[in-house]
Amino acid sequence: MPFKASLAANKRRHKQAGVTLIELILSMVIISIAVTGVFSVMNLTVSHSADPVVQYQAIAIAEAYLEEILLQPVTDPDGTNAGETRASYDNVADYNGLNDTGAHNQQGALLSNLSSYIVSVAVVDQAVSGLTAKKITVTVSGPGVSGLTLVGYQFI
């Protein structure tokens, strides 16, 4: 008799083992909601991961143009601006009105990996703290960047 009683108690205990269909469905719904949230965060992160690179490229282009211009003398060494090309620019004023579709090097050659950027330069005379200076404004636009502007001054 004691053996039969323990067998019956064992059956009752094992009857409650496992999960019901409703518990299984609820756990699947909760896990799917959590996975959807994780994937949406990952998607947002991945879709914006290239933005800093594009911004840095635009800044580097503007800095390169501005440095190139600031290294030029303020006055024209040969006294004329007629018939000059980008490769023969020899003073700051030569760059006024420069509009490049795609970033170009100092000789005027297109940099193929940066061809989707637009660079414009404006050079104007401006008084700064009572001194005469050339204000150089370099503006870069491109994919993901609209109107990034760097300004430099070269005093006369």
pLDDT surpassing 60 at residue 5:
no
User: pTM, whole model, 2 decimals?
Assistant: 0.67
> What is the token pair recorded at 20?
């019901």
- For 109-119, write each residue's pLDDT tens digit: 888 888 889 99
Structural domain that includes position 15: 2-47
**Where is pLDDT greater, at 132 or 86?**
132
Give me the mean pLDDT over the 6-11 stretch.
58
d(CA 136, CA 121): 7
> What is the token pair recorded at 95?
């760059």
Task: Verify that 76 and 111 share a domain, yes or no.
Answer: yes
Strand partners, 125: 134
Question: Which of 127, 125, 114, 3 has the alpha carbon at shortest distance from 62?
Answer: 114
Task: Verify that 78 and 142 share a domain, yes or no.
Answer: yes
The stretches of 16-121 forming alpha helices (DSSP H) are: 21-47, 51-70
Task: Verify that 78 and 150 share a domain, yes or no.
Answer: yes
Work out how many domains the chain is built from and give that number.
2
